[in-house]
Amino acid sequence: AQSVAQPEDQVNVAEGNPLTVKCTYSVSGNPYLFWYVQYPNRGLQFLLKYITGDNLVKGSYGFEAEFNKSQTSFHLKKPSALVSDSALYFCAVSFSGGYNKLIFGAGTRLAVHP
Binding residues for another protein, rule: CB under 8 A, are 9, 32, 34, 36, 41-46, 49, 51, 90, 94, 96-102, 104-107
Taking the least distance from each CB to another protein, the nearer of 73 and 98 is 98
Question: Could you tell me the end-to-end alpha-carbon distance of the chain, in angstroms, rounded to an integer?
Answer: 41
Taking the least distance from each CB to another protein, the nearer of 16 and 74 is 74
DSSP 8-state class, residue 62:
G
Contact 108, 8 (CB under 8 A): yes
Q: Please, what is the minimum distance in Å from the beta carbon of residue 104 to another protein?
A: 4
Q: Please, what is the minimum distance in Å from the beta carbon of residue 55 to another protein?
A: 16
Q: Please, what is the minimum distance in Å from the beta carbon of residue 17 to another protein?
A: 26
Burial of residue 77 (CB within 10 Å: 0-12, 13-18, 19+) is middle
Q: Please, what is the minimum distance in Å from the beta carbon of residue 91 to another protein?
A: 9
> What's the gap between Cα 71 and its chain centre?
15
Q: Which of 38, 35, 36, 33 lies closest to 55, judged by CA?
A: 33
Taking the least distance from each CB to another protein, the nearer of 81 and 92 is 92
